[in-house]
Amino acid sequence: MKAEIIESKDLKNDPVFGQLSFNNHEQIVFCNDEDTGLKAIIGIHNTTLGPALGGTRMWQYKSEYEALNDVLRLSRGMTYKSAITGLKLGGGKAVIIGDAKTQKNDRLMRRFGEFVNSLGGKYITAEDVGMETRDMDIIKEVTPHVTGVSETIGGSGNPSPITAYGVYMGMKAAAKYKFGSDNLAGKKVLVQGVGHVGETLVQHITEEGAQVILNDINEKRLEELSKKYNANVVLGDDVYGLDIDIYAPCALGATLNDDTINQLQAKIVAGAANNQLANELRHGSLLQEKGIAYAPDFLINAGGIINVYAEVSGYSRDEIQERTENIYNTTLEIFNLAEKENITTHQAAFNIAQARIDSAKKDKN
């Protein structure tokens, strides 16, 4: 089956099955509990390669449509992220509707864990926006099907450093493809969002001699990190027209859109943020037309999933490191395939992932 890149769809008329078939999801579980007020949706996109692993996001969605759409997009993304990375995992994700700051409590987490448990391991949860390691520890009280728990109870710990290392590998591979050398010394790199992943990325690339420009909405952090890494800072969001070699989005998704791509001076985009392309088809193509080498986000930010996979597979730290390092080779492979077939890098990555899924399906039948 050819991998199909989807675009968002109006959910008003076909809120569940229209969207379900559109995304080819295997199963969607609506979790409702009157006592705790839990309203959650678990999306299981595909389990051909293994159990569907993906984090739980708690967010104050404006509507149930928005929550459903989010979980479907995210769980589908996990299928391809794990497949392209070569993990024996399927794709799934969960959303809890509500404000994590005011509505999250241990009872709610336990009840959610019971729903996860009822799926018998078909879905394995982890941390995402609005969740903390402590929440995973609570879920662990009621189900073994959770990852990202504290190291003291056998967890894999903070995934951000390993995610940053994977992004660094992806960036170097993009440089090799675009500039003929993967050495980042002297390259001007804009890192947008210097949080958990962004800071470690800055550390790797400054060590290699890149000229780093930091951008964040947190000015205190910018001041602190500019001193620590002797880096320049740019304030505000008017950053896309800067004279840079590499743009590394490490804050939010959808920063690659009509407006920003038009201004972009960078020759490479390689960053950690999920769903960087506002529209996968359109903006993947626009980057290709401008000759900007885009390292697919779901490939180069896969260090985090490799890290939690260790809890399921029993990988050692060395194996995690090795697999994350391999993001370099896969990224190069994708650039070459995209060029050969004259398709976007996003589509090339999808095609390889889909081929792995199809082949595993064939072996099963």
Question: Minimal distance in Å, beta carbon 360 to ligand NAD?
Answer: 24
Question: Minimal distance in Å, beta carbon 263 to ligand NAD?
Answer: 15
Question: Minimal distance in Å, beta carbon 333 to ligand NAD?
Answer: 21
Q: Tell me the residue nearest to ligand NAD as measured from the CB.
A: 195
Q: Are the C-beta atoms of 296 and 333 separated by less than 8 Å?
A: no
Q: Which is nearer to ligand NAD, 52 or 251 (CB)?
A: 251
Q: Which is nearer to ligand NAD, 29 or 78 (CB)?
A: 78
Catalytic entry in 93, 104, 122, 267: 93
Residue ranges that bind ligand NAD, judged by CB under 6 A: 159-160, 163, 192-198, 215-218, 221, 237, 250-252, 272-274, 301, 304
Long-range contacts of 356-361 (CB under 8 A, 24+ apart): 356/49, 356/83, 356/84, 356/86, 357/46, 357/48, 357/49, 357/79, 357/83, 358/1, 360/48, 360/49, 361/48
Does 178 participate in catalysis according to the annotation? no
Question: Minimal distance in Å, beta carbon 73 to ligand NAD?
Answer: 13
* Token pair of 303 as six digits: 């260090």
Q: Which is nearer to ligand NAD, 68 or 272 (CB)?
A: 272
Q: Which is nearer to ligand NAD, 26 or 297 (CB)?
A: 297
Q: Which is nearer to ligand NAD, 11 or 126 (CB)?
A: 126
Say whether 247 sits in a helix, a strand or coil. Answer: strand
Dist CA 50 CA 66 (whole Å): 27
Helix (H) or strand (E) holding 151: none
Helix (H) or strand (E) holding 275: none
Largest CA distance in the chain: 60
Would residue 236 be called left, alpha or beta, if left means φ above 0 and alpha means ψ between -120 and 50 degrees? left
Question: Minimal distance in Å, beta carbon 107 to ligand NAD?
Answer: 26
Query: CA nearest 347: which of 297, 292, 284, 291?
Result: 284
Q: Give burial (CB, 10 Å; 0-12/13-18/19+) of 44.
A: buried
Q: Annotated catalytic sites, by residue? A: 93
